[in-house]
Amino acid sequence: MSAHPTKLLFICSRNRIRSLTAEKMLSGLPGYQVASAGTQPGARVVVTSGQIRWADIIFCMEKSHLQKLRARFPEELHGRQLIALHIPDEFEFMAEDLLDELHTKIGMHVALPVPE
Structural domain spans, the chain: 6-106
Fold category of 6-106 in CATH: Rossmann fold (3.40.50)
What's the confidence (pLDDT) of residue 1? 45
Sequential DSSP letters for 5-72? PEEEEEEESSSSSHHHHHHHHHTT-TTEEEEEEESSTTSSSB--HHHHHH-SEEEESSHHHHHHHHHH
What's the confidence (pLDDT) of residue 2? 52
pLDDT digits 0-9 by tens, 5-15: 999 999 999 99
113 pLDDT band (50/70/90 cuts)? confident
114 pLDDT band (50/70/90 cuts)? confident
Distance CA 107, CA 116 (A): 15
Over 80: is that where the pLDDT of 23 sits? yes
Segment 22-36 mean pLDDT: 96
